[in-house]
Chain A
Amino acid sequence: MVHQTVEIGYGGSERLTMNMGPQHPSAHGVFRAILTLEGETVVGVDAVIGYLHRCHEKLGETLTYVQYPSIASKTDYVAAMTAELAYVSAVELVGKIDVPKRAQWLRVLAAELQRVASHCLWLGTWCMDMGGALGGGATVFLYAIREREDILDLFESLTGARLLYGFHQPGGTRYDLPAGWTEQCRKTLDRVEQRLGEYEAMLEDNAFFLVRTQGVGVISRELAQEIGVSGPLLRGSGVNHDLRTAAPYSSYEAFEFRVPVETAGDCYARYRVRMVEFRESIKIARQALDGLPEGPISSRPGVKSVGQVRVPKGEGYARVEGARGEVGCYLVADGGAKPYRLKWRGASFSNLSVLPHILPGVKVADVVAIMGSVDPVFGEVDR
């Protein structure tokens, strides 16, 4: 268990300790925040994580390079595609395995669809945190989940699985696009893009949504950089850093897209960043569909079998831009069929560690709004 306590001075004397989590309707996963309250104001936060620890890194040492990608998807189960991608990128980096162009573009396509699906879930759950399961939040949640379903349908026809895919393999991808998939994908993207405008209209024209998000949970640029947050949180605090442009991988340099940056650093800025990312991801996915190169989907023959990959002695760190930020994988290989050591860098873990710094001083109701805007996935925090 990791404890971190930050307290601020407060004039009053009557304090109440309240548990939020690990079982709480709005805890995204099993996060436990022991709040010290003065009336409605939070004066102290004791953040406890570790309830979902599953020995992922140790497991990585016992599974072969071919077996592990489908386990890697269980670290960040809301954006499994990018988690897998981080692992296979590390294997390819250390093993110096080439990836054919078509596989790289398929990976981009999968990653961007995954980003849309993940942001859909984030939008729904975050609004539910603020609006209640018996209120307007539930309405947004059901709308967003409907769109996510469509994308999961796409993944299902692509990989046979809806949540944890096993799509990526060292050297390429496991599956190629099935017949008719491209048209279905285009239709889905059009529909999602059109409905995004409806959500923005519903939320941004609503004064109550604005007062709940603007100026709430401000992460300053300095704090964001010091803690090491990444993804939409970092870009919401005014730092223009996106691995897809800062350190392009998997042919991202061939795509045209904009990296949204907001300077306010509050919940609303993070919301805006993600809403623009929705559209940019759709744009990238369309480009990938348009210009998908012909060729093999893997550099290794018989990639569908469990044929072993041997990685020569060495080590390396590969990172990708997941839906929540930088997902990294540090791999030490000893020349066998399994890694010697595997270390995950979960985006949610770093992002979550900003919470004890920004929660003291806010009202109880804002705790859930801020927690939701961070968008943690606990599979990735505890691993």
Chain B
Amino acid sequence: MTLPPLAYHALVGFVVLNVVIGMVTYVTLLERKFAARMQSRIGPYYVGPHGLLQPIADAIKLMIKEDVVPTAADRWVYNLAPIVFLVPCVLIFATLPFAPGLGVADLNIGVLFFLAVSSLEIVGLFMGGWGSNNKYALLSAMRAVNQIISYDLPFVFAALVPVVLAGSLQMSVIVEAQRGLWFGAYPVIGWLSFIAFLVATLAAENRVPFDILEAESELVAGFRVEYSGMKFALIQLGEYAHMIGTSFLGALLFLGGWLGPGSDYVLIGAFWFLLKAMLVFLVITWVRWSFVRIRVDQILAISWKLLLPASLVLLLAAAFWVAVRGGHGA
């Protein structure tokens, strides 16, 4: 029996959505355990064996918490913000293939879709910061706009290098183009653009050392200081979903996606893909727990004076290289 295309996509979308949300909850546990190990602690331990049920306990706790809305808040904007923030963060998974043929939609403009949608989260961030009617939140929203506008450009340029090398915006084609050599291992151009991609990823995800939006030591918790209960959970969910999404993108564009020994089988391919994505995620986490946060002006300086020109040059170099060689692929 074959399903009609629409029903098939709806079914796959439903499954992927739930898998993503399940992963997000468990990735928090991974991060907490990893951070604990770095800090000579144990981390979550008491809920379930070795704290394995901690994410579920956290989710239940957040669901049954009181939902407080500040009286002075702009109610519409305030209530909508978590949803507006979450939707693009989950939507980015639509074009990510987990293995050959396993994914919601392998669009021929997949990378473009990802980049366009993922930068939409700024709207939700700004709505949250503005609607809370809190000075910390407002400052944080200001910083958010500054930072995300500055870092989207290098992020896009760095992500376009593999696109140029592969000659396609379709994720599966980009992965297949890396059969000989991963783009992350591509001499000079690939190495540098992978580094630029990782740095821009940190900033686009508001992670340490670029987490000036959250900045709990100065702005308490930034744009989400007034959120509680499920709305807070939605924001957290969106943030981690975005982070995993960009880790997936990094694995697809630079680390050869599902390619690996035995990747002709869908499940083994998916395993390799998840493994690489989690490695990217752990690198991000590792950076997070060992760096201090830098100042807003320094963040902007890094972006405009260093990262943006560097990624532009890399993109031009990649285009030049493809033109000289007269062909795509590794």
Contacts and interface: CB of A to CB of B under 8 A. Distances in A.
Interface of A: 16, 18-20, 24-26, 37, 39-40, 127-139, 142-143, 146, 202, 206, 208-209, 211-212, 363-368
B33 interface: no
A134 B218 contact: no
Contacts of A206: 290-292
Given A133-B217, A136-B288, A136-B292, A143 B40 contact: yes
Nearest to B301: A211
Given A146-B40, A363-B295, 13 more contacts: A131-B292, A132-B211, A132-B216, A134-B214, A135-B292, A136-B209, A208-B209, A209-B291, A209-B292, A211-B298, A212-B298, A365-B212, A365-B295
Nearest to A211: B298
A132 B135 contact: no
B77 interface: no
Given A26-B218, A138-B39, A211 B294 contact: yes
Contacts of A367: 218
23 contacts: A37-B139, A40-B296, A129-B217, A130-B217, A130-B293, A131-B293, A132-B216, A132-B292, A135-B289, A135-B291, A135-B293, A136-B288, A136-B290, A139-B38, A142-B40, A206-B292, A212-B293, A212-B294, A363-B295, A364-B139, A365-B212, A365-B215, A365-B295
Contact of B217 (A132, A142, A143, A209): A132
B296 A363 contact: yes
Given A138-B39, A142-B39, A211-B298, A133 B293 contact: no
Q: Give the residue among B136, B219, B220, B293 with the most A Cβ atoms within 10 A.
A: B293
A129 B215 CA distance: 9
B214 A132 contact: yes
B289 A25 contact: no
Contacts of A146: 40
Contacts of B135: 16, 18-19
B293 A365 contact: yes
B300 to A, nearest CB: 11
Contacts of B216: 25-26, 132-134
Interface in B124-141: 135-136, 138-139
Contacts of A40: 139, 142-143, 296-297
Contacts of B297: 40, 363
A63 to B, nearest CB: 38
A143 B39 CA distance: 7
A364 B297 CA distance: 11
B214 A136 contact: no
Contact of B294 (A24, A37, A208): A208
Contacts of A211: 294-295, 298
Interface string B30-54: 0000010011110000000000000
A231 to B, nearest CB: 23
Contacts of B215: 132, 365
A139 B39 contact: yes
Contacts of A129: 217
Given A130-B217, A142-B39, A366 B292 contact: no
A138 B41 CA distance: 12
Of the candidates B40, B214, B216, B298, the one having the most CB atoms from chain A within 10 angstroms of its own CB is B216
Q: Which residue, A24, A132, A133, A366, has most C-beta atoms of chain B within 10 A?
A: A132
A73 B38 CA distance: 35
Interface hub of A128, A139, A366 (most chain B Cβ within 10 A): A139
Question: Could you say which interface size class chain B belongs to?
Answer: 20 to 34
B243 interface: no
A139 B290 CA distance: 7
Contacts of B291: 131, 135-136, 206, 208-209
Which 4 pairs show the lowest CB-CB distances between chains A and B? A131-B292, A135-B208, A26-B217, A142-B39
B208 to A, nearest CB: 4
Given A130-B293, A135-B289, A211-B298, A368 B218 contact: yes
Contacts of B294: 208, 211-212
A298 B138 CA distance: 60
B298 A138 contact: no
Contacts of A132: 208, 211, 214-217, 292-293
A367 B291 CA distance: 19
B217 A25 contact: yes
A285 B94 CA distance: 63
A25, A127, A143, A208 pick with most chain B CB within 10 angstroms: A208
B147 to A, nearest CB: 12
A209 B138 CA distance: 26
Contacts of A39: 142
A26 B291 CA distance: 18
B82 to A, nearest CB: 19
Interface string B112-155: 00000000000000000000000110110011000000000000
A133 B208 CA distance: 11
Contact of B218 (A16, A19, A142, A365): A365
Contacts of A202: 290
Nearest to B289: A139
B229 to A, nearest CB: 20
Contacts of B218: 20, 26, 364-365, 367-368
Contacts of A25: 216-217, 220
A130 B211 CA distance: 11
Contacts of A138: 39, 289
Contact of B296 (A134, A137, A365): A365
A72 B139 CA distance: 42
B40 A135 contact: no
